[in-house]
Amino acid sequence: MTAYGVLRAEWVKFRSIRAMLGCLAGAVAAAGAYGYLFGMTAARDYLAAPAADRAAFDPTETAFRALVLAGVLVSAAGALTVTSEYAAGTMPVSVTAVPRRGLLLAGKGAVVALATFLIGPPLALLSFALSQAALAARGVPSAGFGDPGVPGALLGAGLFMGLVGLYGLALGFLLRRSAGAVSLGTFLLILPGMAGLFPEAVARWIVTWWPSAAGARLFAVHAGTEGLAPLAGAGVLTATVLGLLCAAAAVFHRRDA
Amino acid sequence: MIELRQLTKRYGEAAVVDGLTFDVRPGVVTGFLGPNGAGKSSTMRMILGLDRPTSGSATIGGRRYAGLPVPLREVGALLDAHAVHPRRTAFDHLLSLAYANGIGRRRVEEVLGLVGLADVAGRRPGGFSLGMKQRLGIAVALLGDPPVVLLDEPVNGLDPEGIRWIRTLTRSLAAEGRTVLVSSHLMSEMALTADHLVVIGRGRLIADIGLEAFVHSAAPQAVLVRTPDAPRLASLLWDAGAAVRPGAGDGLTVTGMSSAEVGGLAGAHGIVLHELTPWRASLEEAYLELTGDSVEFTASPAGVAS
């Protein structure tokens, strides 16, 4: 029972769950489709805007907006690594193989974090490429991969997805059921998108401090004047995920398996 | 060797397992018997560190399960045959558990052969019959070639061929010197497999006893004898100190005397016997007598329900 052994074991489990492939393929589709749609919308707005506003147009602003939606599927994949075990009743078997539960949780976490971290940049790349293509197709100014801030945003997308995957995993341990973990995880992730429904002060707080909104600063191309700095945003999301993981570890350790 | 000391599990006020103390020794099959809900599974789950005891301890070779460095090499368990991911192949199911305990692919292939699943190693257990899942569960238990094996209700729902397979397997595991604990709620099954019995009811220990001793302790031996000359034999038996009750037809039920003694007495007096059968209470009866007070739900006779 070594960390390496547990890691290999968890990887075998991860790759043998079909739904995992579905979630990650869905994340790719979401990143591409929404990336293109956000690009189209931005192009329409640009063409309708007066010349003064056009000067302030930032083509990268919409480039990664699709990643939060793709993140919904990534967090679902994280949750499934845990809830699939509870659903199939294999958690007791896993715990008898690795009775040090912290090690079991860490092994699952490492596999999820690595897989989701690696899928982040390709998702970002896809969303970026299609959104900029949509802009360029209408003759609207667009950005290239080499533009300042873009490579950093791609890496940031990897970190974002890794954190979101762990966030799903923690919810999986806490709630144990796929439906609960996935729906709560989705709701909490996309809450900033519904900020407009709240009073303005609350809305402003949500879009700045809500962990998924703050974490999205990781793939902001320009620091901008609104919202947190990328590192501060990353800090908020990381702290939230660490908090959830600690809660998950405590519950998993105490509960009968 | 598994050692339980005052092992207790409570959920609120209700004790599922209540102060269990017994040892499970190597080299024999220990049958773990009790009615449904007696606490057999809870006890096994505590031995495996899955459930936390409220008090008391369960150790394997002197150590708690959670403290075993490579658990599957020390203890193998089958708790629930249905506990497999329906879409993960039998091979991957075993491989993931093997890797976690530093066991290689070759051993996975080996145990698949051992339980007769080599041909379906690459198939998903979703389509497996209960018998096949049971075999896969046994493969998990044997993966680390462990000296201690725990099987929870392994024959439940199996066909006769599967039951015989499990029976032979448990016997041979014990013959190899392993510690084997097999739970069941069926006395008849344990009579064929176990050497030693641990009987519990409502979480408490009822008996910790060898199979033979269990049978003898629970019911007196008797001899059934049929003869056309019953009244004469009966009085002779009375005089010799045996207790005699009339049996079916012209039969007598004799207690306090062996069949050889009854036959000898009849022969000495020239009494013709049509039947002479040593009889003892069936294991089932002995078991029911012991656990009668501790079944969780009892059907009341029709019409008597209050």
- Domains of chain B by residue range: 2-216, 220-279
How far off is chain B from A211, nearest CA to CA, in Å? 33
Label residue B57 by pLDDT band (50, 70, 90): very high
A→B contacts (Cβ < 8 Å), by residue, are: 1-2, 5-6, 8-10, 12-13, 16-18, 84-85, 88-90, 92-100, 107, 254, 256-257
CATH number for the region B220-279 comes to 3.30.70.980
pLDDT at B215: 73
pLDDT at B36: 87
Q: Which of B86, B87, B100 is facing A5, going by the closest CB pair?
A: B100
pLDDT at B44: 97
Residues B250, B229: Cα–Cα separation, whole Å? 8
* A73-116 residue pLDDT tens: 999 999 999 999 999 999 999 999 999 999 999 999 999 999 99
Please name which of A208, A204, A205, A234 lies closest in space to residue A219, comparing C-alpha atoms.
A234
- Domains of chain A by residue range: 3-254
Cβ distance B87 to A17 less than 8 Å, yes or no, reads yes
Domain B2-216 has CATH 3.40.50.300: yes
* Residue B267 reports pLDDT greater than 50: yes
Q: Which of B84, B95, B102 is facing A90, going by the closest CB pair?
A: B84
Residues A117, A201: Cα–Cα separation, whole Å? 34
How far off is chain B from A12, nearest CA to CA, in Å? 6
Label residue B218 by pLDDT band (50, 70, 90): low
Total count of residues recorded for chain B: 306
Q: Which helix (DSSP H) or strand (DSSP E) does residue B121 occupy?
A: none
pLDDT at B300: 57
Q: Report percent pLDDT > 90 for chain B.
A: 67
* B107-119 residue pLDDT tens: 999 999 999 999 9
Residue B72 touches partner A, C-beta closer than 8 Å: yes
Q: Report percent pLDDT > 70 for chain B.
A: 93
pLDDT at B305: 41
Cβ distance A96 to B66 less than 8 Å, yes or no, reads no
Cβ distance A96 to B87 less than 8 Å, yes or no, reads no
Q: Which of A84, A93, A254 is facing B83, going by the closest CB pair?
A: A93
Residue B190 in contact with residue B202, Cβ under 8 Å? Answer: no
State whether the Cα torsion A129-A134-A136-A137 is positive or negative: positive
* Residue B297 reports pLDDT greater than 70: no
Touching A: B residues 125-144, CB under 8 Å: 140
Tokens of B95: 């491989």
* A117-175 residue pLDDT tens: 999 999 999 999 999 999 999 999 999 988 888 999 999 999 999 999 999 999 999 99
B chain contacts of residue A98, beta-carbon cutoff 8 Å: 71, 100
